């Protein structure tokens, strides 16, 4: 039999030993690959680049409220192309002032970028503001201010955008009772002010906000001695639909410090929960249709001080949960979970990370990518910050035709392009010249991803036959 210069592998295991698994388990567990590390194009110490992050439709939005290019802590936010890692635009407010902290919170959806400026004094000291931008052109579209804004409101502590609206939290409103404001985007105007039916001073309603599926979720970490709560509202009417609290609510858990929505699911972080030790953290999954708790999520390796749940996001049946205190000397991590099976899918960590870099302080998900902020990263100076892009699924490799499925279509491209030293026109992902066993490894390792049913035995057999047929060709190329 002809010699194979490099035996193809599946998740690092020889392919022949795992062929049966390919037939039984569509989609490998080889997700969570670090793709890019993004840093500010004009990085300086104390910028805190990555203190807020968002991702949508091939664009990343990254806040850096410590940016002092236009004066101390005026702040900035940056748009990046997630495919190339290239910076697209630097956003700053037209009327930015010292210590505005522009970029403390960001949101991105439907072509809009929403960026808060919590330190703005537009309605008095620390009253706050938010700015709306065109995410394609970077043009400022408007400035959002509450109709009843006042000093110390901290309007902009949290922001969300989508479904034609913007939602902005104001945790300091009314002696810290807090509020959230709903704005129509076109024309830009305040629609209503959201308040919980049981609002009290110190509740900090508006700590975190999310919109989706015709609903809004608003976190309130100060509820019930900082056990915390999250409130669900109808986006159209502004009527409160439910109050979410965990079944094991305990004082000081900070439940509601991070929230996310996808469809009928809500994910709520409780980063000071003591599930695995003091401040180890937890996150809770809820059914928004019933208001019932579905699960409490904790990492397999959770420890005291991990702060798991400090940030959360949901997309396409996957949850990502930030844990900035995880690892040796708090290097940070983020965890992926399947929202149906509740299985932990992966633990994401940066390839190189210093202590206390804050990795996992902020997270986002979109289109098979995860964005994770590390505002304490010191590559470009203390607290200059960085942001990382990961794949949440193995389509980056074996999905050569870019249809989010690794199947016979990709196999046909591989066979038709074998040995080519130029990028074949039909290829979207995975190509490194020449087409050889490197691409074959990607295909086999990712086989079945994106297919809802198990790969049938004939297909697995076809792969084996293909491997044997290609063995001579593989032997003619040096391993990569």
pLDDT digit string, tens, across residues 382-422: 999 999 999 886 444 577 775 556 788 888 888 888 888 77
- Res. 460: pLDDT tops 50: no
Q: Extract the tokens encoding 181.
A: 């404001």
Q: Give me the pLDDT at residue 426, please.
A: 64
pLDDT value, residue 322: 98
Q: How far is CA 221 from CA 198, 247, 336, 358, in A?
A: 14, 16, 24, 21
Question: What number is the average pLDDT over the span 242-252?
Answer: 98
Interacting residues of 116 by C-beta distance below 8 A, sequence separation 6+: 102, 103, 104, 105, 106, 128, 129, 130, 131, 155, 156, 157, 158, 159, 168
Tell me the whole-structure pTM to 2 decimals: 0.79
Task: Express each pLDDT in 179-212 by its tens digit.
Answer: 999 999 999 999 999 999 999 999 999 999 999 9
In what order do the strands lie in the sheet containing 386-391?
34-38, 386-391, 369-374, 362-366
Between 69-83, 281-295, 351-365, 456-470, the lowest mean confidence (pLDDT) is in: 456-470
Mean pLDDT taken over the chain: 86
Checking if the pLDDT of 262 tops 50, the result is yes
Mean pLDDT of 89-118: 97
Average pLDDT over residues 273-282: 98
Say what the pLDDT of residue 461 is. 47
Phi, psi of 414 (to 5 degrees): -60, -50
Q: Please name each of the domains of the chain with its CATH number.
A: 9-29+399-475 (no CATH), 34-393 (2.130.10.130)
Give the Cα separation of 180 and 190 in Å (integer): 11
Residue 23, number of CB atoms within 10 A of its CB: 19
pLDDT at 428 over 70: no
pLDDT higher than 60, residue 477: no
Whole-Å CA distances, 344 to 1, 32, 86, 456, 463: 41, 12, 32, 26, 29
Rg of the chain over CA atoms, in angstroms?
24
Does the pLDDT value for residue 381 go beyond 80? yes
Check residue 418 and give its pLDDT. 85
Average pLDDT over residues 83-88: 93
CA-based nearest residue to 163, from 85, 110, 230: 110
| Percent with pLDDT over 70 in the chain | 82
Tell me the pLDDT tens digit for each residue of 345-356. 899 999 887 888
Please tell me whether residue 397 adopts helix, strand or coil conformation.
Answer: helix
- pLDDT for 470 equals 52
Structure confidence at residue 448 (pLDDT) = 66
**pLDDT beyond 80 at 451:** no
Name the one residue in this structure whose structure tokens are 């091939």.
58
Q: Which two tokens stand for residue 374?
A: 């590390």
Read off φ and ψ for residue 464, nearest 5 degrees: -65, -45
Nearest to 15 by CA among 470, 364, 476: 470
pLDDT of amino acid 458 = 37
Cis peptide, bond prior to residue 434, ω within 30 of zero: yes
Residue predicted with more confidence, 275 or 393: 275
For 25-57, write each residue's pLDDT tens digit: 223 333 467 889 999 999 999 999 999 999 999
446 versus 366: the higher-pLDDT residue is: 366
pLDDT at 18 over 60: no
Token pair of 311 as six digits = 């940030």
Task: Residue 183: name the closest of 231, 230, 143, 218 by CA.
Answer: 143
Looking up tokens 């390796």, which residue turns up? 301
Q: What is the pLDDT of residues 107-136, one digit of tens each?
A: 999 999 999 999 999 999 999 999 999 999
- At 356 the pLDDT is 86
């Amino acid at each position: 039999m002809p010699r194979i210069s490099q035996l193809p592998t599946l998740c690092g295991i020889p392919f022949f030993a795992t062929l049966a698994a390919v037939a039984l388990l569509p989609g490998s567990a080889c997700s969570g690959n670090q793709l890019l590390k993004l840093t500010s194009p004009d990085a300086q110490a104390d910028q805190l680049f990555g203190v807020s992050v968002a991702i949508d439709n091939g664009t990343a939005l990254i806040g850096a409220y410590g940016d002092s290019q236009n004066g101390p802590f005026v702040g900035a936010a940056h748009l990046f192309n997630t495919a190339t890692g290239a910076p697209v635009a630097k956003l700053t407010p037209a009327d930015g002032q010292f210590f505005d902290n522009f970029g403390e919170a960001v949101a991105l959806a439907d072509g809009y970028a929403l960026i808060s400026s919590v330190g703005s004094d537009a309605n008095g000291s620390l009253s706050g503001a938010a700015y709306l931008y065109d995410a394609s052109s970077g043009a400022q579209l408007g400035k959002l201010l509450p109709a009843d804004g006042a000093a110390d409101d901290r309007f902009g502590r949290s922001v969300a955008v989508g479904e034609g609206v913007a939602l902005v939290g104001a945790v300091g409103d009314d002696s810290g009772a807090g509020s959230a404001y709903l704005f129509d985007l076109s024309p830009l105007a305040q629609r209503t002010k959201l308040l919980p039916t049981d609002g009290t001073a110190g509740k900090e309603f508006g700590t975190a906000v999310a919109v989706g599926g015709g609903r809004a979720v608003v976190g309130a970490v100060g509820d019930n001695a900082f056990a915390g709560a999250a409130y669900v509202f109808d986006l159209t009417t502004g009527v409160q639909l439910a109050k979410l609290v965990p079944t094991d609510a305990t004082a000081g858990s900070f439940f509601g410090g991070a929230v996310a929505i996808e469809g009928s699911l809500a994910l709520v972080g409780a980063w000071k929960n003591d599930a695995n030790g003091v401040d180890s953290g937890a996150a809770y999954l809820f059914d928004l249709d019933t208001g019932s708790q579905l699960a409490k999520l904790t990492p397999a390796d959770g420890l005291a001080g991990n702060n798991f749940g400090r940030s959360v996001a949901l997309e396409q049946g996957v949850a990502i949960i930030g844990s900035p205190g995880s690892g040796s000397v708090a290097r940070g991590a983020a965890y992926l979970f399947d929202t149906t099976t509740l299985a932990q899918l992966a633990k994401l960590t940066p390839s190189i990370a210093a202590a206390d870099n804050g990795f996992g302080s902020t997270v986002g998900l979109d289109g098979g990518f995860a964005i994770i902020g590390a505002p304490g990263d010191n590559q470009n100076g203390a607290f200059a910050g960085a942001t990382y892009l990961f794949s949440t699924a193995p389509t980056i490799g074996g999905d050569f035709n870019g249809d989010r499925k690794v199947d016979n279509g990709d196999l046909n491209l591989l066979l038709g392009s074998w040995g080519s030293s130029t990028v074949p026109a039909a290829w979207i992902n995975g190509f490194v010249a020449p087409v050889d066993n490197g691409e074959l490894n990607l295909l086999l390792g990712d086989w079945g991803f994106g297919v809802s049913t198990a790969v049938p035995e004939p297909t697995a057999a076809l792969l084996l036959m293909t491997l044997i047929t290609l063995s001579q060709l593989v032997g003619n190329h040096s391993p990569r």
